[in-house]
Amino acid sequence: MRYPHRFRRRINEPLVPIDYPAGFFDVAAQAHSGRCGFRILLSDSHYFSCWMGIDHSTNNVLELVAAWACLFWAR
């Protein structure tokens, strides 16, 4: 099924079976600005997610910030 460009496809569940709780994070950096986010899955239907925008940073910095934030909120 193809989606038009104006719609974003959302994936609500991971592609591999997991044991709960689990955390995932990802970043997107372009030209000294970027976003990072994470999602903590508590069960099949309950999760906590967050995203942050950080200016003047590299992909490595964003990866560390996303991992730190995911671990901080998971604690």
Asked if residue 12 belongs to a domain, the reply is: no
Asked, for residue 36, whether it belongs to a domain, the answer is: yes
Per residue in 17-50, pLDDT tens?
677 888 888 888 776 678 888 999 888 788 889 9
9 vs 46, higher pLDDT? 46
pTM of the model: 0.66
> What are the two backbone dihedrals, phi and then psi, of residue 31, each rounded to the nearest 5 degrees?
45, 55
Domain that holds residue 30: 22-74
Q: What is the tally of structural domains in the chain?
A: 1
Read off the pLDDT of residues 49-68 as tens digits, 9 standing for 90 and up. 998 888 878 888 888 988 99
Place of tokens 């940073």: 57
User: Could you tell me what percentage of the chain is helix, strand and coil, using 3-state DSSP and rounding each to the nearest 5?
Assistant: 20, 35, 45
| Domain-located, residue 1 | no
Q: Is residue 17 part of a domain?
A: no
* Predicted pLDDT of residue 17: 66
In-domain check, residue 5? no
Q: How far apart are CA 17 and CA 2, in angstroms?
A: 25
Per-residue pLDDT, 33 = 74
